[in-house]
Amino acid sequence: MIIRPRRLRNSQSLRKMVRETRVAASSLIYPMFAMEGENKKEEISSMPGQYRYTVDRLTDGIGEAVDSGVDKIMLFGIPDEKDAHGSQAFAEDGIVQKALAEARKNFPDLYLITDVCLCEYTSHGHCGMLHSHDVDNDSTLPVLARTALSHVQAGADMVAPSDMMDGRVSAIRTELDKNGFYNTPIMSYAVKYASAFYGPFREAADSAPAFGDRKTYQMDFHNSREGIREAILDVKEGADIIMIKPAIAYNDMITKVKEVISVPVATYSVSGEYAMVKAAAQNGWIDEKRIVSEMAIGAYRAGADIYITYYAKELAQYFKEGFIG
Ligand code: PBG
């Protein structure tokens, strides 16, 4: 036998040399939840180890992330008051706006990304304006643009629209540019599927739709070419980074999208992925560290440049130890 693939697997040092996928903590983003109130840190019951923080306690959570080597966070807000138009999303003293100010004050070098959406802020829990039972696309665009601008004015380094309205990237880009923020990047949740994997998040953010589902705006999971279309459209509208979401069960889309666009590709390992792994790990049924590592490397191997995950702190640690990476 001349050709023996096992030759290059013979030692850890050799295996490391020939690795095809190399990763670094600089590509990790940690999602965090801010809520109204004082001095509270509430564990999310379906996501053990993840919390909702009041603004004054947010520093505890961010500090842990920074200590572990994560220097980018994505902020979600849980307002006290919701209305039909989601007006707390762009309020100057809104929850995300306050959280941004606090984070910036305590961590001047932290890279702050915000999720731009209305579902946490609307009384009906949909991601846009309702016209009877229809989520209206075009009247939602100015609200999203205004929300993105208010995040940037409050200190966000990057905005990430997740609503899946058509034309939102262009609307946000125009609004940011008009106000001089032409250097603030947009990471678009471009290839976002209507997925049961978001279940725990909706508990965490209190954002489940009051009626119906999100299938008229989020994508049908049977489709692949449609995802490529969404990615190309968003790049044309000015998206600087394209996201695929969820990550698990959608790694094929990471590879396909990466082939046709030339901006960086991110993927979001969402709440349901975290909840499943955590639950099985707590039961002693799986090896959490190895499962988390394989899921992450699977996403990077598929082509992800950026990985958004509730396991960011642990992964940063695994990279540091050389367990993976
Ligand atoms: C807001 C939004 C959602 C997630 C990110 N942004 C929920 C949804 O679309 O219903 C999901 C994140 C996760 O599950 O971890 N639209």
Structural domains of the chain, ranges and CATH numbers in brackets: 21-321 (3.20.20.70)
- The Cα 168–Cα 189 span in angstroms is 11
Q: Whose CA is nearest to atom 14 of ligand 1?
A: 198
Question: Does residue 115's CB lie within 6 angstroms of at least one atom of ligand 1?
Answer: yes
The atom number, within ligand 1, closest to the CA of 208 reads: 10
Record the tokens describing residue 214, joined without a space: 């999100």
Q: Answer for the pair 74, 30: CB distance below 8 angstroms, yes or no.
A: yes
> 245: closest CA among 159, 184, 306, 288?
306
> 313: closest CA among 88, 135, 102, 69?
69
Question: Does residue 267's CB lie within 6 angstroms of at least one atom of ligand 1?
Answer: no
Q: What is the DSSP code (8-state) at residue 220? A: P
What is the model's pLDDT at position 133?
87
Question: Does residue 158's CB lie within 6 angstroms of at least one atom of ligand 1?
Answer: no
Buried b (16+ CB within 10 A) or exposed e, 107-129: beebebbbbbbbbbbbebbbbbb
Residue 9 burial (CB count, 10 A): 11
Backbone angle region of 317, left / alpha / beta, with phi > 0 → left and psi within -120 to 50 → alpha: alpha
- The Cα 148–Cα 152 span in angstroms is 6
Distance from the alpha carbon of residue 239 to the mean position of ligand 1, in angstroms:
19
Residue to mutate (ligand 1; options 76, 193, 201; most atoms within 8 A of CB): 201
Question: Does residue 162's CB lie within 6 angstroms of at least one atom of ligand 1?
Answer: yes
Residue to mutate (ligand 1; options 115, 198, 250; most atoms within 8 A of CB): 198
Distance from the alpha carbon of residue 273 to the mean position of ligand 1, in angstroms:
12
- The Cα 85–Cα 88 span in angstroms is 9
Residues annotated catalytic, as ranges: 192, 245
The atom number, within ligand 1, closest to the CA of 207 reads: 10
Distance from the alpha carbon of residue 301 to the mean position of ligand 1, in angstroms:
24
Q: Whose CA is nearest to atom 10 of ligand 1?
A: 198
Who's near 16: CB < 8 A, 6+ residues apart? none
Taking the CA atoms of residue 219, residue 223, residue 224 and residue 230 in that order, the dihedral angle to the nearest 10 degrees is -30
Helix axes 95-106, 141-153, angle to 10 degrees: 30
What phi, psi does 282 have (nearest 5°)? -65, -25
What is the model's pLDDT at position 171?
98
Distance from the alpha carbon of residue 270 to the mean position of ligand 1, in angstroms:
8
What is the model's pLDDT at position 325?
87
Distance from the alpha carbon of residue 258 to the mean position of ligand 1, in angstroms:
22
Question: Does residue 310's CB lie within 6 angstroms of at least one atom of ligand 1?
Answer: no
Record the tokens describing residue 300, joined without a space: 């990077």
- The Cα 128–Cα 143 span in angstroms is 8
Distance from the alpha carbon of residue 48 to the mean position of ligand 1, in angstroms:
18
The atom number, within ligand 1, closest to the CA of 115 reads: 6
Question: Does residue 198's CB lie within 6 angstroms of at least one atom of ligand 1?
Answer: yes
Q: Tens of pLDDT along the chain (325 residues)? A: 999 999 999 999 999 999 999 999 999 999 999 999 999 999 999 999 999 999 999 999 999 999 999 999 999 999 999 999 999 999 999 999 999 999 999 999 999 999 999 999 999 999 999 998 899 999 999 999 999 999 999 999 999 999 999 999 999 999 999 999 999 999 999 999 999 999 999 989 989 999 999 999 999 999 999 999 999 999 999 999 999 999 999 999 999 999 999 999 999 999 999 999 999 999 999 999 999 999 999 999 999 999 999 999 999 999 999 999 8
Question: Does residue 30's CB lie within 6 angstroms of at least one atom of ligand 1?
Answer: no
What is the model's pLDDT at position 38?
97
Question: Does residue 270's CB lie within 6 angstroms of at least one atom of ligand 1?
Answer: yes
Question: Does residue 46's CB lie within 6 angstroms of at least one atom of ligand 1?
Answer: no
Question: Does residue 54's CB lie within 6 angstroms of at least one atom of ligand 1?
Answer: no
Q: Answer for the pair 275, 46: CB distance below 8 angstroms, yes or no.
A: yes
- The Cα 201–Cα 325 span in angstroms is 28
